[in-house]
């Protein structure tokens, strides 16, 4: 409880600066590249095109889903993945990347994952708007199920901000942990529901196990909004698995914060 109070107090103290730092972090990310902000759109577009081409043209497996073209089904699940991927890797390295704040300004380490998460969320909002526009142009207008988007977005933001606090602290102490995260990101991707519908898996144990992966729950949730037209409470097992994993990482983040926050400035 003491760690929770400290984290809340640090966020209250620096509430206004969080959004300014998030904007600054976003600008620094794309400032050095020739295309600048365009990379935020080019990379997701290329990734989606490659997978669409591989499955629809190469493997001829990209059949329509619930009356929607396969490319739209793919986009709906990929939309949150770009944020989650950035937070898996960027979250793990967020404190080390911003070590000047910790070593020179005595900035609270608990706030760094928050503004980094917001900086990636800004890009997610842009991609979400483009995704909705493409669905509209394809003849699929927004409906009442779109009201769930803020819910799934909140779950995604909370989980990966907590993840960034836990992983960022460990990576600040040992760079090997950050390298480990980078090496398993691809495996995490393929063991989630980004590229396939987990509910179609025949093995019940494997199906439930994959639902403990928050990436599966979030990608599935976005597809429920755009494709399947289902409410989040219709699958209580999925939500239950998410909150179990979320609780575990909250406890891990609090443990890491309590044990490592004083050591981080010296190590960096």
> Which domain range does residue 25 map to?
2-267
Domain count, the chain: 1
Q: What is the structure's pLDDT at 125?
A: 92
Question: What's 263's DSSP letter?
Answer: T
Q: What is the structure's pLDDT at 55?
A: 64
pLDDT digits (tens, 9 = 90+) for 190-240: 888 888 888 888 888 888 888 899 999 999 999 999 999 999 999 899 999
Q: What is the structure's pLDDT at 47?
A: 72
What's the whole-model pTM score? 0.89
Print burial letters for 160-191: b (CB count within 10 Å at least 16), e (below 16): bbbbbbbbbbbbbbeeebbeebeeeeeeeeeb
Q: What is the structure's pLDDT at 62?
A: 61
pLDDT digits (tens, 9 = 90+) for 138-159: 888 999 999 999 999 999 999 9
Distances (CA, A) of 228 to 79, 166, 221: 15, 34, 9
pLDDT beneath 70, residues of the chain? 1, 29-40, 42, 51-62, 268
- For 236, the token pair is 């209580």
């Amino acid at each position: 409880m003491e760690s929770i109070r400290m984290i809340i107090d640090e966020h209250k103290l620096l509430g206004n600066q969080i959004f300014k730092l998030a904007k600054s972090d976003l600008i620094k990310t794309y400032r050095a590249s020739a295309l600048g902000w365009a990379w935020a759109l080019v990379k997701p577009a290329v990734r989606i095109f490659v997978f669409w081409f591989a499955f629809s043209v190469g493997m001829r497996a990209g059949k329509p889903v619930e009356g929607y073209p396969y490319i739209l089904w793919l986009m709906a699940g990929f939309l949150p993945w770009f944020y989650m991927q950035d937070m898996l890797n960027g979250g793990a390295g967020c404190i080390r990347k911003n070590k000047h704040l910790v070593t020179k300004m005595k900035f609270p380490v608990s706030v760094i994952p928050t503004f980094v998460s917001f900086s990636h969320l800004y890009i997610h909002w842009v991609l979400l708007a483009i995704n909705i526009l493409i669905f509209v142009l394809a003849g699929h207008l927004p409906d009442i199920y779109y009201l769930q988007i803020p819910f799934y977005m909140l779950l995604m933001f909370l989980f990966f901000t907590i993840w960034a606090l836990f992983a960022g602290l460990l990576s600040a102490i040992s760079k090997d942990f950050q390298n480990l995260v980078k090496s398993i990101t691809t495996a995490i991707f393929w063991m989630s529901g980004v590229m396939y519908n987990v509910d179609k898996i025949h093995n019940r144990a494997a199906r439930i196990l994959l639902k403990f992966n928050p990436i599966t729950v979030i990608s599935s949730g976005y597809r429920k909004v755009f494709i399947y037209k289902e409410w989040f409470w219709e699958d209580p097992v999925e939500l239950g698995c998410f909150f179990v994993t979320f609780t575990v990482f909250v406890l891990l983040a609090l443990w890491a914060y309590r044990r490592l926050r004083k050591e981080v400035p010296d190590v960096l």
